[in-house]
Amino acid sequence: MTAASTSKHVLVIGAGFAGLAAATSLAQRGYRVTILEKNEGPGGRARVFRAEGFTFDMGPSWYWMPDIFEQYFARFGKKVSDYYELVRLDPSYQVVFKNQETVDIPARMDELRALFERYEPGSAARLDEFLRQAAYKYEVGIGKFVHMPGRSLLEFMDPRLVVDAVRLDLLQSMHKHVRKFFRDPRLLELVEFPVLFLGATSENTPALYSLMNYADLALGTWYPMGGMHKIVEGMVQLAQERGVLIEYNAPVQEIVVERGRATGVQTAAGFRAADVVVAGADYHHAEQRLLAPEWRHYDEKYWDSRTMAPSSLLFYVGVNKRLPQLRHHNLFFDEDFSLHAEEIYEDPKWPTRPLFYVSAPSQTDPSVAPEGCENLFLLIPVAPNLPDPEETREHYYHLIMDRLERHCGTSIRDAVVYKRSYAHQDFGQDYNSYKGNAYGLANTLRQTAILKPALKSKKVSNLYFTGQLTVPGPGVPPSLISGQVVAGEVEKEN
């Protein structure tokens, strides 16, 4: 910390994971930091709401990469356990394949190996090798590459990193990579689903992202008791302990620039001066809507050419009975996996026979639903930028509820006491989300590292960007890292 830095004021736009991480990291470095959040509470896509006795996490529901969260809090001399109770789920999740074949994915590695072997003799040994390679990618990719600001090729010129890059399989597709190890279609769906839900088709995703399988199958699936918003509450508490001020219901209307420097932002309440501005809001919105044209580096043609990760059609449903056939996480792969991927990425449209996901946190946590009730979060990954009128939402609600009721062997719709839908229009309204996307940019090779939108403005010397549309990418752990990386860049230059 320097004397100069302690006198400087940073305005952070947005109190999502990246914005909170950036603000807290900057405050630790001695900056005065204020977060301006457009919504009534923190968390961005990880907000929470309560209705009819149910507590609904609005967005992220998977807690993977627990080491990233531990490392984050450890930077400030804290532990995860100082803010929330974390439990490991076993089974990690349930998968429903075609013909109603259902399997629990065990947390124990010996049981997982036996499961793979049952589906495909000899695959247990291949799973070991697959995860050994994935562990290396995780160690290098998460330990080194995702912490790079991605501003210059010179960052990657260390000979050791060049060797690492070759072993990370950046030039081989995930599709080709996984088929070196497995042939059974159920195993292929199991190892490729993180790509479909968070990235692109496996054909267009670098094999680097098998690191997600290491996070899933080796590091495990966890849950913070009380819900995913407990992470946000912990981060807010930590930020405030470090002196960060957070103002809600404070949407930014303009980033004010004079002679190539941001002097502050304009809100409905007036002008707010700043020495540095960090935009943790949607990158496209911040650059294309909050900046005057002369200060924008990218144009609409550039943004329209980006490959977006999926959006989502979500349903928050409260049911007045228990559904013992469900686990905490449930993946319905009972329809054509490749067709759904094609209808997201290759021929964008509402899916013909969608895959879907159900989170039932009340299976683990009685606090999120009234006694004897079930809290359901239903998600269909869909292409971004689709019209989503109420009749379309209702069509898909009944489509997936038919299959959910068949799986559970009981009626559910007549037991629903609360229901709310959420899709493209809502993502746009609440988060200024480009094309109504839910996850940011797809993890394609042409959108990796320095090929992502830059974390620093190329025209405004003290304007920075953080979050899922810049480095390192989509997901909660990458957003945490993004905020920390941006804070480091601010400190270097201001």
Write the pLDDT tens digit of every residue in 182-191.
999 999 999 9
3-class state of residue 211 by DSSP: helix
- Tell me, yes or no, whether 234 and 142 share the same domain: no
Q: Omega before 387 cis (within 30°)?
A: no
3-class state of residue 76 by DSSP: coil
- Tell me, yes or no, whether 29 and 127 share the same domain: no
For residue 190, what are the domain limits? Answer: 108-217
The domain tally of the chain equals 2
Burial 365-398 (b: 16+ CB within 10 A, else e): beebbeeebbbbbbbbbbbbebebeeebbeebbe
Q: Is residue 88 one of the residues assigned to a domain?
A: no
**Is the four-CA dihedral 84, 90, 95, 100 of positive or negative sign?**
negative
Domain holding 487: CATH number? 3.50.50.60
Helix axes 17-28, 229-241, angle to 10 degrees: 20
Stronger pLDDT, 379 or 162, i.e. the higher one = 379
Q: Which of 173, 190, 217 is the last residue before a domain boundary?
A: 217
Q: What is the pLDDT of residue 163?
A: 57
d(CA 470, CA 296): 15
- Tell me, yes or no, whether 242 and 289 share the same domain: yes
Q: What is the dihedral of CA 119, 120, 121, 126, to 10 degrees?
A: -120
Q: Which of 192, 217, 242 is the last residue before a domain boundary?
A: 217
Q: Omega before 91 cis (within 30°)?
A: yes
Mean per-residue pLDDT, 418-427: 98
Average of per-residue pLDDT values in the chain = 94
Q: What is the pLDDT of residue 86?
A: 98
Global pTM reads 0.96
Q: What is the pLDDT of residue 305?
A: 95
Which residues have C-beta within 8 Å of that of residue 415, sequence separation ≥ 6? Answer: 319, 320, 321
* Lowest-pLDDT range of 141-145, 281-285, 322-326, 352-356: 141-145
Q: Which residue's entry shows tokens 């001066």?
A: 273
- Tell me, yes or no, whether 213 and 238 share the same domain: no
Q: Is residue 160 one of the residues assigned to a domain?
A: yes
- Tell me, yes or no, whether 123 and 197 share the same domain: yes
**Beta carbons of 243 and 109 less than 8 angstroms apart:** no
Percent of the chain topping pLDDT 70:
95
Q: Is residue 270 one of the residues assigned to a domain?
A: yes
